Amino acid sequence: MKRSLIVLTCTVNPSTDVYQTRRFENDLRLRDYKKSIEFWIRFVRRNKKFDLLILENSSSISKLQDYVGEYKSFTNIKFGECQADEISQRQGISGGELRMLKESNDFFNHKDYGFVWKVTGRSRIANVRQVFYSNNGAEILADRVFVPRHALNSRIFGMSPELWEEFTTRNIIFDEGDIKPGHFESMEHYLTTFALEMEFKGFRQKSFLKTPIFLEFSGSKNKRVDSIKRRFLLVLLNPIRPLLIRLLLGSTP
């Protein structure tokens, strides 16, 4: 069985003009990333079938490397310094993040992996093993958010290397105005559309068996992604999530 790659997207020092970024203080963001990187290093050390690729696009990769210290010599922990981000000022944070994902292709050999995971750099997931081991042969795995559009959550998702390369290298423009071909409102909008397109072509897309329980603060809202109340509810509801989705959609996740 091939290994899986976890790609963390980090922007330690965002432009103050970046749209919808409220958690922008450098020291605060760096502290968030350090907590996250420590979490993911522990995960890949305990789960030998996973490698970690840490991307950074604000000329601050050395701050993350210095924090990692001796672990940066581990063969399953890699760093990628991406181009300085100027796209986010024009297209919002989705534009800057997608370009990082595009550049990720330069830092790993697709043939070495059976699956590639994208994780927003500050994210820590309490039930990460349940989420990552949800794969039962799907080429795309993502959490469906039950809003009117049934969007896929772009905070964490996974794809086969073949689809990862196609998803990350398309010429996409993020624009909240008039939506034209190749234009999308957000990363969630693009991910959802791409997954539907691939499903139509015969690829298998599935939702997670368990809803991820996020521990971090949102960069756009500067509030916890999952409140303590929501975490408690997810702990109670996750065991019956497959049944709930079957009732809602008529199919399993």
Q: What is the pLDDT along the chain (253 residues), one digit of tens a residue?
A: 689 999 999 988 877 665 456 666 778 888 899 999 999 999 998 998 999 999 998 888 999 988 887 776 677 899 999 987 666 656 567 888 999 999 999 999 999 999 999 999 889 999 998 888 866 788 999 987 655 555 888 999 999 999 999 999 999 888 766 667 778 888 898 999 999 999 999 999 888 888 888 887 766 565 676 677 777 777 777 777 666 666 655 555 5
In Å, how far are 15, 57, 61, 75 from 79, measured between CA atoms? Answer: 22, 11, 8, 11
What pLDDT is recorded for position 25? 76
What is the Cβ-side half-sphere exposure of residue 68, based on CA atoms within 13 angstroms?
23
CA 48 to chain centre: 20
At a CB cut-off of 8 Å and minimum separation 6, what does 152 contact? 142, 143, 144, 145, 188, 191, 192, 195
Q: Hey, how many other C-beta atoms are within 10 angstroms of the C-beta on 167? A: 22
Q: Which two tokens stand for residue 153?
A: 């959550």
What pLDDT is recorded for position 165? 97
CA dist 168 and 105 (Å) reads 8
Residue spans of the domains in the chain: they are 3-226
Class of domain 3-226: alpha beta
Q: Which two tokens stand for residue 192?
A: 């959802």
CA dist 80 and 26 (Å) reads 20
Name the strands in the sheet holding 140-144, side by side, starting at the edge strand that comes first in the sequence.
77-81, 50-56, 3-10, 113-120, 152-159, 140-144, 205-207
What pLDDT is recorded for position 93? 73
